[in-house]
Amino acid sequence: MAQDVLVAGGGIAGLAAALAARAADWEVRLFEQAQEFSEVGAGLQLGPNATRVLRDWGVLGPLQALAWQPPRLSVRDALDGRVLGTLALGASTQQRYGAPYLTVHRADLHAALLRAATEAGAWLRTGLRIASVRVDGELAQAHLEGGALVEADALAIADGVWSRLREQLVGDGPAPATGHVAYRALVPMAQLPARLRGDEVQAWLGPHMHLVRYPVRAGEALNVVGFIEGRAGAGWDHAVQSDALRAAAAGLCGELQALVEAVEVWRMWPVHDREPLSGPAQMARGRAALLGDAAHPMRPYLAQGAGMAIEDAWTLQKVLAACDGRVIDVPTTLQRYALNRWQRCARVQRRARRNGWIFHADGLLRHARNLALAAGGEPVLDLPWLYGAG
């Protein structure tokens, strides 16, 4: 009889885990607390480390029709608009890493994973919340809110940055706020004046803030996200009158001010992260494995949170496929998963934090950064350790 896994959460990590487990020939039951599967938010960049996995799952083809393949990354100074450095993407990434660099609407990625997991035979349910778990017995147990008990050989916990189930396994409290706030917007390209459109990924670096923009939806919309230092008010992801962002943009170059003004509706999102993982115990215990933001929430300054979730699921697939439940038991299998993943995820978490400090540099540090980018050229922006592995 096939072994089975329960998945907590139907975001990108949970759906990827469900798909991966089916690919390893495990039965899957996934529980999502929301009444329907959906993804809020706007765009995502997907490096070749992630698209390589999507291709293996048969998800890349359908997704690529809705995605955008930017020709380059261009890094600019937000104060004077100067180009500080560029990295060729497009055909160049494909050639170097064997897979494309894409920008996608996150709902398109989520829908592609949902479709693939459904077609692969995963049992996926909404409106069901896992309230508590037990992972140290003969079977993994999950209590659903309302009282029902479900059991399986293993449990994949993918309940996101505000994971309650992590607390039961790792016990290290909620993910702290970073003091940074993201303002996100999606603007139909047709609504923008020609000089504000563009086909590349642009990162504009300013004192205590930065802004990233790129096309999604086959170039029909521009995704814009501005990050500023400052606490968010109560709640999260609400449409806001983005006075703080406009104030932060006041001293920036004309093109950036015009872009910020051109956006009608911003959605605000306080950024939370955790200290980089310090060992495998934070990614697996007993019959449970943690994936995605539940395991390693990170600042989005390396554009790799979803990428790491996809890689997590890929590694899970490999270890589950090798697990027969007797010679190699489930706890050993999930330890292998954690041992394979934690150092890479920690490195990405650290690098994402470091990028934040560099991106937001002011004064002399800003000048030093700009000089380093100009002197270093493409190699400073290319990340073979990240894009070439996974």
Ligand X SMILES: Cc1cc2nc3c(=O)[nH]c(=O)nc-3n(C[C@H](O)[C@H](O)[C@H](O)COP(=O)(O)OP(=O)(O)OC[C@H]3O[C@@H](n4cnc5c(N)ncnc54)[C@H](O)[C@@H]3O)c2cc1C
Considering the complex, state which of residue 129 and residue 329 has its C-beta at the smaller distance from ligand X. Answer: 129
Least CB distance to ligand X at residue 217 (A): 15
Least CB distance to ligand X at residue 371 (A): 27
Alpha carbons 34 and 23: distance in angstroms, whole number: 25
Question: What are the residues binding ligand X (CB under 6 A)?
Answer: 8-14, 31-34, 44-45, 129-130, 158-161, 164-165, 182, 184, 225, 269, 292-294, 300, 303-307, 309
Alpha carbons 127 and 10: distance in angstroms, whole number: 11
- Note if 337 is an active site residue: no
Considering the complex, state which of residue 294 and residue 370 has its C-beta at the smaller distance from ligand X. Answer: 294
Considering the complex, state which of residue 337 and residue 370 has its C-beta at the smaller distance from ligand X. Answer: 337
Considering the complex, state which of residue 8 and residue 23 has its C-beta at the smaller distance from ligand X. Answer: 8
Least CB distance to ligand X at residue 163 (A): 7
Name the active-site residue from 214, 301, 337, 387.
214
Considering the complex, state which of residue 178 and residue 370 has its C-beta at the smaller distance from ligand X. Answer: 178
Least CB distance to ligand X at residue 306 (A): 3
Least CB distance to ligand X at residue 168 (A): 10
Those residues whose C-beta lies under 8 Å from the C-beta of residue 114, and which sit 6 or more positions away, are: 10, 15, 37, 124
Residues with a known catalytic role: 214
